[in-house]
Chains A and B, each alone.
Chain A
Amino acid sequence: MLEQLLIFTRGGLILWTCKEIGNALKGSPIDTLIRSCLLEERSGDVSFNYDAHGAAYTLKWTFHNDLGLVFVAVYQRILHLLYVDDLLSVVKQSFSEIYDPKRMAYDDFDETFRQLRKEAEARAEELRKTKQVVGKPVSSVKKQGQVSKAGLEGGNKKMSEGGSKKDDGDGNKAKVGNLTNGHSNGNHRMEDDSQKTDLANGKENTTDNVALDLSKLQKLRSKGVRGRGGIRKADSIGNKGSKVTAAEPAKKATKKNRVWDDAAPKKEKLDFTDSVDENGSNDHVDIAAADQGESMMDKEEVFSSDSESEDDDEPGSDEKPEAKKKGWFSSVFQSITGKANLERTDLEQPLKALKERLMTKNVAEEIAGKLCESVEASLEGKKLASFTRISSTVQGAMEDALIRILTPTRSIDILRDVHAAKEQRRPYVVVFVGVNGVGKSTNLAKVAYWLLQHKVSVMMAACDTFRSGAVEQLRTHARRLQVPIFEKGYEKDPAVVAKEAIQEATRNGSDVVLVDTAGRMQDNEPLMRALSKLINLNNPDLVLFVGEALVGNEAVDQLSKFNQKLSDLSTSGNTRLIDGILLTKFDTIDDKVGAALSMVYISGAPVMFVGCGQSYPDLKKLNVKAIVKTLLK
């Protein structure tokens, strides 16, 4: 049974709901859908699962972009209604015919809806029958047949691809290919068996796995805690994933080396990884050096908008030559009159160009794709404004989307949080996590430096009891910055060291404890378990993921796996995930700022700091507008 079908404006006014269904929805699935899916640039997805307040709903939606309407259907997940996409699209069509912006009540639509629903149910029934009767159905029927088979496993991509494209009237030709393609990508919402068979099919590749992680994470984020079955499932996938990505480290190492070389001349300044020896022979490190001026966190950034003026002309040059030839005149004419409605085919070219541009900026391919889908969903059917070109409309929509994503959903005012903790007479605890060699300790020191400048007393906790030299490295920083350091050598369990450090900080009245942890690859099960233990035991105020700004596609893997492992391995009831991101080596990437976007999109956590150099003051905040501009340049 359909639980509910709503029609509302993008402004948020409900225009029509199905009254005859009657029973009220549990929880607030619609608001959740809007907040954690549609506003997170995931409207290109096929369905959204809502689990809360004892409900297990699946939501599907469609937009009428020209009228600014949203149609959402809610149904019980176990029911696998097959006619929902079909119903949504016919409802959209008939409703848009009677819609009048000045009218607020559409009681007369009740009757229409009843009819439409009956027809849609009948069509679905019909299809089911033909599928049973005819062994090998043809063309569109075949498609639907497949859908119903796979669709039984839960809402999935194929289904709505069939459904939503149908109403475009752009034929079925492309769809078969799309189906097989989408097969490996779109299955992420199916349950156990189908996933396994899919994996066994050997169709999967790394991005696939990432896709799995991604959606799972998303689910996780909205759901909070997961059941036991979920854990088992995730484990099996995680293992598979590790196999697939096993080849990665080698690649990574070389990449890192190259970077090291780039940074070599400046390197010695802050990096004490090698230069230390235990006997304190580096006692002479001059403490005065610690005062290197104002941290860049506090400086107003002047963003040089290098080539703003050419922004608008560029898309044209990206398009294929034949597209250009197709008619300068007609495009000018279109832009003056305002074209009828944007169709999927109009958007294809500019979106493809945009996706490629994002990828040249080092945005992970998967994410560039998802973003484009979301922009497409928000533009399809919209009227092109006068005096605008499609490419610039698309670019504008993408710009809005990027700004939305990068705008933090929660306050990133750490100092305010520190003061709040202080009022409660407890230290504010930050745990730095990340893979090896990204600069955790160095950037921890930069954060300490910045905090010190704001009269916040800091204590460091050396909980990297894994890599030799790590404690000494941190000690050197502590000495230079003249902050206390809590260390217990290499023998101890890091979780316990952190706990003792926090107790010590409470005793001596430190405001902030910065916990350094061992770098670990996201697939290293024992180390990830240790990290999860540390976080669960100490319940820090902030789990800061330190990541290199250089990473491309791998960003997705790192962050999603970290988050996933943290939640899978969590022992307590409330799962802690990554709260914020510190991007390092931002000065070495030129305009390839894509990692910032990838990481934020994947984790939903804001970029709180950006490390941009080799000295203590080189710590900045992310300038969202500048990043967006760079991404679209």
Chain B
Amino acid sequence: MVCACGKEVVDPKKEKLKELLLQYQGQKGALIPVLQGAQEIYGYLPKEVMEEISRTLKIPFSKVYGVATFYAQFHLKPRGRNVIRACLGTACHVRGGAKVFETLKNELGIGDGETTPDLRFTLESVACIGACGLAPVIMVNDDTYGRLTPDKVKEILAKYE
């Protein structure tokens, strides 16, 4: 990119991606860690980024896409600023996780895997986040909330902008 003053403008995300690719270039089994790193940089996996990864690692584009769509961790669309993971794993299921999830859906007006139009929240159901002792559990970003009941949901959501 070149701006009006004529100087090269570096896109910090692109620089980071370059670094990441450099770090992994020529390594066996690099695709998944690179996709993870790229998603860390961009928040999701934009098409151009996947193309760049395919070119640099010399892995067919179709395979890069195939891998990205196989794993639940990868996202091809922009996501909300806050990601809610509602556990519907066994322990949470038998302790009312579904009700908490329903309430979340109603409060946010979105379904599983969807993002609110204002990009404030993305809602996802997951199967066990390993905090089963506290079931039912949700995670908002890196914060875990346990022993939940539906009426606590509103309060939790309010904490996140």
**Same assembly:** no
Give A contacts to B, CB under 8 Å: none
